[in-house]
Structure formats: structure tokens, C-alpha cells
A = this chain, B = another copy of it.
Amino acid sequence: MGEKIKALRERIGEVRDLGAASAVLGWDQQVNMPPGGAQGRAYALATLSKLSHQKAVSDDMGETIEKAEAEAAQLDPDSDDARLVQKAKRDYLKDRKVPNEWVGEFTHVTTLGYQVWEKAREASDFDQFKPELEKIIALRRQYAEFFAPYDHIYDPLLDDYEPGMKTADVKTVFHQLRQEQVALVQATAESGVEIDDAIIHQPFDEEAQWSFGVEVIKAIGYDFERGRQDKSVHPFTTGFNPGDVRITTRIAPKFLNPALFGSIHECGHAMYEQGVNPAYARTPLDGGASLGFHESQSRMWENMVGRSRAFWNVFYSRLQSYFPEQFGAIDMETFYRAINKVEPSLIRVEADEATYNLHIMLRFELETALMEGSLAVADLPAAWNEKSEQLLGITPPNDKLGVLQDVHWSGGMVGYFPTYALGNLIAAQLWEKILVDIPDLEKHLNTGEFHVLLDWLRTNVHVYGAKYKPMELLERITGDSLQAEPYLRYLKAKFGDVYGL
């Protein structure tokens, strides 16, 4: 490695260290922190983010990057170092546009915002959260202006989570998905097939839920030597480096899905980060290519694997042994149908695959309206309920089951939601390619050889971390740009079978 690139790595390493420290503090805030710690934590996180930002956008950093660029020009443009310098430059140019004061204030507001949201959600009272959310949306609108001119005010936010993606692209793809998904949901409703999922809505011992979940995620490949699982109000994954990638889960005492499929989902995220080339630690190549790619991993494991017959061929007898009263007399096919019942519901993270993207569209439409200024925060609960009725045909009875259900906005994450839907599409595109490369994949999954799938993902996706831009990575792997068809094909095949369409 050249001296100049080495110098850049060292300088960026410090910025990444500060990011890792913030991530630990954020994890702690959601998993451990007592109420009294909120104020001090907001200060600490604000200082960390300000310092990190100062270092990231300093003139020194600019000069270091420039010198490294000269050195990188001599290298294979696809080499790790050349890519590292490129990505460092892109990040630098973006970060430079944001004033340091904004960074500190945003971190402070969103750190306290999380605490307020948690209480407001518990109390199912949007008014408690409203003042915080108003501050957050105002800050987010300010943020977008730093990147003016833009095609759409939502673009700069989206780009943070899904580099290169535009609001217009999302609208196009959502338009295509919406028609077909609504038609599919309608077809299932009119199919005459009634699925009773009462068996997954009954009391399940919480410790047994925890233990079964741990057994499952160990079996599919989560490495507890380089991670851990805890409980939190809103499940999430956070990686400090490839050697320490943590997940959380939430156990519902009377519903099997949240802990089980939540754990598998987060495990999908975590295995992605555990699989990144360890040499990328403390560089901008660490972490995933984008949140869309991240969600492709989490939703692939949760749904394409976790809600498949193959998976339950392996695990159903284990589930029965954890919950003999609930499942001892139930055959696997009945269980399989119960966990794949299509029915519009209120909570995104508990939604079935056929309706899931509709939850995302709802949020995307509200977020873009908030950013455009055509929707006021005060009118958000009503707008939420109205959209819910339009898209899902149901109206939440209260804020907890509606507008307050997700953690994202409290942490300032506006522009994040579309990546869940993009993740579904990417997952389906990857899946079709995997089936070309491993034609007998189902045989392997049927016998619990999940490592065959994980190895493919490791080799083709995980190891590259953020080396490639997401759409570039997708094209390298599948030879194609982002497409809705593979996901629609997947949905139609799966639910066509379940509902006899």
C-alpha cells in the first residue's frame, strides 16, 4: 500500500472509530440505558457526531484524499484501495455540504427524540411526540436544502440510505408494484381459501421463544463469537466492526412471529456485516452496500428462507418440541399456511409478504409530503389513518398501532423506509441468480444445509461490503438493473400456491 493511501486509511480510521463509539452508545441507549441517562447521552452523542463530522470534512482530510487520489490513479480501478479512495471522496464531498452545527443539533434532538417516542408509543399518544417530530422534520428539510438544487427535496435523504437512488425511481417502481400487489391481495381474498392463523396467536412462553430463536439463528449462521442478541422495544442490528455485530429482538407473549421472524430478519442483516472482508474494518468499505442491499439480506432470510416449506422441514419438529401444547397436534402444512396467511394488518413488521410493500408505500407517501411541506406534522396521524384505509383497507384504532409504531422518525431516519421495499426486489433478483448457480438449493435447505446459501451470499455479496455502489453490485451479480418482476414472480408463485390461484 502506498504511503498516501495509508495516511488516508489512518485518518479515516479515526472517523470510523468515532462512528463505532456512537454506535455503541446508540445500542446501549436502546438496550440498557436507565431513564436518567438520556440528557447526558444526548450531549455525548452530539459531541461524537460533531467531532466525527469535523474530522471528516476538515481541509486536512480533503488534502489527504487528494494525495491518495494521485496514488490510487496508478492502481487497478477495481482494487480495494482505489475503491476506498473513491468512496472516501464521495463521502467527503457529501459531508462537506452539511454545517457542523447542524450535525450536533440533529444528533442531540434525535437522541432525546428516541426517548420521547418510546414513552409516547407506550402511551399511544402522538401529541407527546409531536413537538419532537416537528423539530426533526424541520431539521430534515434544512438538511435537504444543503444539497440544493435537487430534483426532489426527498432525494438527498434517500441518497444517504440508497446511494444513487432518486425519488422518481422509487415512485416508478412503487407504481408498478402497487397495482400488482393490490391485485394479488385481492385475488387471495377472493380465492375462497380461508387460512386460520389462530395457532400463531396464542400464549408462548417467553423463554422458550427466546431459546428457539437462538437455536434458529445459530443454525442459519449467526456467529455469537462476533455478536450478541438482546431485547429492545424496536428490533435492530448494529455493527461496530465485523467482529462485533449485534442484534435485538422483541418478544410478544401471545404472538409467535415478532420474536421468531424478527430474529431471523435481524440475523440476516448481521450475517451481512459479519461477512464483510475484515480488512475493510475502520474504512468506508465496511458495512453494507446500501440499506436496500441490507434489507435484501434480512428479508431473504426472514421470508424466502424463514417462511419456506424447506426451512420448516428442518425446524418444525424442533418448534413442536419447544411448544408441544401449541403445535403437538398441528401438522406442518397447517403451520406453513398460518405463517403465510395474506391479510392486511396494522403493524409493518408483522405484515405478510403480499401486503408488506403497501406499508412502505404508505410511509413513503407521507414522508415525501412532510418533506415537500404539503403535510404538517400535526396532520400526520389523520393522514396516516387515511392512507392506511386506502392502501390496506383498515384504520388503526390508536396511534400505537398506527403512526407511532416505527422507531425511524424518532431517530431522524426519514428516507429509510423505501429501502425495505427495494430490499424485497433485490432479494428476489439475487434469489433467481442463486437458483441458477445452485440448482439444487432447495435440497440443501430441506436438510438444514443453510451454509450453502450463506456461502453464496458471503462470496457474492457480503465480502464486498460497501466496495461497490448498490446498483453496480446488483449488476455485477445478476447482470441486470433493479427490476420489480422477479419479486412479483416470486410473490405470485408462492401465494398462487398457498391460495390456489
Contact = CB atoms under 8 A, between A and B. Distances in A.
A225 B34 contact: yes
A36 B223 contact: yes
Interface string A213-231: 0000000000111111000
Interface in A270-306: 281-282
Given A14-B51, A43-B282, A244-B41, A226 B36 contact: yes
Nearest to A32: B228
B241 A34 contact: no
Given A25-B24, A34-B244, A244-B34, A281 B40 contact: yes
Contacts of A47: 13-14, 17-18, 21
Interface in A39-89: 39-41, 43-44, 46-48, 51
B20 A240 contact: no
Contacts of A36: 223, 225-227, 242-244
Contact of A21 (B14, B25, B33): B25
A287 to B, nearest CB: 13
A39 B243 contact: yes
Contacts of A242: 36
One complex includes copies of this chain to the number of 2
A51 B15 CA distance: 11
Contacts of A240: 37, 40-41, 44
Contacts of A17: 43-44, 46-48
A35 interface: yes
A31 to B, nearest CB: 8
Contacts of A22: 21
A242 to B, nearest CB: 8
B44 A20 contact: yes
A8 to B, nearest CB: 16
Contacts of A228: 32, 34
Nearest to A23: B44
Contacts of A14: 47, 51
A28 interface: yes
Contact of A243 (B18, B21, B28, B38): B38
A372 B394 CA distance: 77
Given A36-B227, A226-B34, A228-B34, A43 B243 contact: no
Contacts of A244: 33-34, 36-37, 40-41
Interface residues of A, number: 39
B21 A44 contact: yes
A224 B34 contact: yes
The winner among A44, A228, A240 for most chain B CB atoms within 10 A is A44
A106 to B, nearest CB: 16
Interface in A301-349: none
Contacts of A227: 34, 36
Contacts of A28: 24, 28
A109 B20 CA distance: 19
Contacts of A48: 17-18, 21
Contacts of A24: 24-25, 28, 44
Nearest to A228: B34
A21 B41 CA distance: 9
A243 B40 CA distance: 7
Contacts of A18: 44, 47-48, 51
A22 B338 CA distance: 47
A14 B43 CA distance: 8
Interface string A5-19: 000000001100110
Contacts of A223: 36
A223 to B, nearest CB: 7
Interface in A181-226: 223-226
Contacts of A224: 34
Contacts of A282: 40, 43
Interface in A233-262: 240-244
15 contacts: A14-B47, A17-B47, A18-B44, A20-B44, A21-B21, A33-B244, A34-B227, A35-B226, A39-B241, A39-B281, A40-B240, A40-B241, A40-B243, A40-B282, A44-B240
List the 7 closest pairs (A to B, CB-CB), nearest first. A37-B244, A36-B243, A40-B241, A36-B226, A17-B47, A17-B44, A20-B44
Given A34-B227, A37-B226, A39-B243, 10 more contacts: A17-B48, A18-B48, A21-B48, A33-B244, A34-B244, A35-B226, A36-B223, A40-B244, A44-B240, A51-B51
